[in-house]
Amino acid sequence: MARVAFLGLGVMGFPMAGHLAAAGHAVTVYNRTQARAAAWVARHGGAMAPTAAAAAAGAEFVMACVGNDDDLRAVCTGAAGAFAGMAGGAVFVDHTTVSATVTRELSGLARAGGLGYVDAPVSGGQAGAEGGRLSVMCGGAEADYARAEPVIAAYARICRRLGDAGAGQIAKMMNQICIAGLVQGLAEALAFGEKAGLDGKAVVEVIAEGAAGSWQMVNRHATMLEDRFDFGFAVDWMRKDLGICLAAAAEAGASLPVTALVDQFYADVQRQGGGRWDTSALIRRLR
């Protein structure tokens, strides 16, 4: 078992860190809101620290799941950042969805300081984090990944190294591109069925078993039909991710016309006051 620090105890990080503790790892947590860290310790044991650097001191692995590029830089760098507290040879594992640019920047800083770095964004949402069934897409040196993978396994259904630093983030962008198109298609189909007078649940029972079936269809159609959107990944976070996708595509010379369109549809949902609704709320703008 390993000495592990976990930085960021949001809806994903809180249960992920819990799985590490349940697997027998010695876990120290850090969260900007200390009350959240105290609640984690009350539930799972372990320890809490006042800064990322203090949490990382003595840890063999430091996992992070924070908000965006700026949050990740803040938790990694500076006197209170994780890199300042990590000993040579320790490995930083970033589960945040951020740009490949900041990943490569921070990976370079880590390597210069004698640290390992693995970018390891996840897919599966809050339910996947709570159930320990996340898909983890990784980038980084083979040796760093090989050391980190058994620790990541505490909350992963599948975990793969896909290339050097930044590869995990590119893979996560591909994941979000796929989800955006799928959710928009599902929203259009369900809204069309409503207007045509069909029972959406009955239709989904049939078509989910055919070529149209998807995780989104199986897990989100019922709540979409019931006009409930308090499940899973928030629209605000999806727009953050799609912004990363579109910027990276422009840099690479790739065309993402459907993604760009769905991003604007999510902007419509935000203007309706749905920034914290889950991503299936696309159907709202069609009703």
Contact 169, 186 (CB under 8 A): no
Q: Which of 172, 195, 201, 240 is catalytic?
A: 172
Measured CA to CA in angstroms, residue 154 lies from 19, 108, 136, 145 at distances of 6, 27, 11, 15
Round to whole Å and give the CA distance between 13 and 7: 8
Round to whole Å and give the CA distance between 259 and 249: 10
Residue 240 annotated among the catalytic residues of the structure = no
**Which has the closest alpha carbon to 266: 248, 280, 256?**
280
Phi/psi of residue 229, nearest 5 degrees: -135, 40
Exposure b/e, 86-124, CB count within 10 A at least 16 = b: beeebbbbbbbbbbbebbbbbbebbeeeebbbbbbbbbb
Which residues participate in catalysis according to the annotation? 172
